[in-house]
Amino acid sequence: MAVPTAVPDVQYVAALTRRESESLAGVLEGLTAEQWRLPACGDWTVDQVSGHLGIVPSSVQQWYDAAIEGEEVEPLDMRDPEFQETQLDMIGEADPEDRVAGVRYAYGAAADYVDELGAASLDLPTYTPEGMLPLSLAVRISLSELFVHGFDIRRAAGLDDRGDQEVAAAVLPHAAAVLPSFLAGARDLVAPVELVAGDQSWTLAPSTGGVAVTDGGQGARSTLRLDPGELVLLVWGRITLADALARGGRIDGDAASLESLFAQLDPL
């Protein structure tokens, strides 16, 4: 499947961003004080993850602005402990009501920004921590944050963690684009494998840099079939391949090559 790059496609992403942020805000409003304190993403609590969500879009917008203005961005090392400490300092402390309001405001503003993008900007190379991407893919970052961290929050709170599959399908092109950076250390893939989620598919093949990901299936001998949401969560390390299969996925063909490949996944 070719990556959608027309203005209506990114406006659709903007509409989904508004919808997903409101959905997550509703979840947050229903949490108890105890649930806000539960670990949700590594050592970060539900409260801290919610605070992180509130500051992501403004940072991401700086990358978009730089792409449009032809400026360079100072790279972030998201694995650096100092970066994590800086994030926690920025998140600070706040009441749940302020966290919810922050999510609503941040993603409403993010959606408004994406809505205003013109066709001429959508192919511009844009910095992301996972590598340079066309702006048409990078505009999905905020929606991806909502989907993935929404999973973190719902799982931590003991709620139904299955996300909106329409949102997941819109996020998938971005997830596929960052997947090579998460598989940079993979060296033992000897034959192409295929990923299929809904009506989207990708082929993963050996390359000198680890694994190359291309749109569409090419008749690989091993195919992983998942719902869009499960594939997004697998790429971002929220579930394992075994989890994905237990949640309804299946492998056609040789399972060993897919199991070996995803055992080497190292997402940010």
Q: How far apart are CA 201 and CA 218, in angstroms?
A: 9
DSSP H helices, 159-254, are 165-182, 228-235, 241-246
Residue 260 is encoded by which pair of tokens?
């070996």
- Which has the minimum average pLDDT: 113-122, 134-143, 149-158, 216-225? 216-225
Examine the pLDDT at 2 and tell me if it is beyond 90. no
- Provide Rg for the chain, Cα atoms: 18
pLDDT, one tens digit per residue, over 29-49 is: 999 999 999 999 999 999 999
pLDDT average, residue stretch 112-128: 97
Strand-pairing partners, residue 125, are 134
Examine the pLDDT at 4 and tell me if it is beyond 80. no
Question: What structural domains does the chain harbor?
Answer: 7-161 (1.20.120.450), 178-263 (3.30.1050.10)
Global model pTM greater than 0.85: yes
Pairing between strand 39-41 and 193-197? unpaired
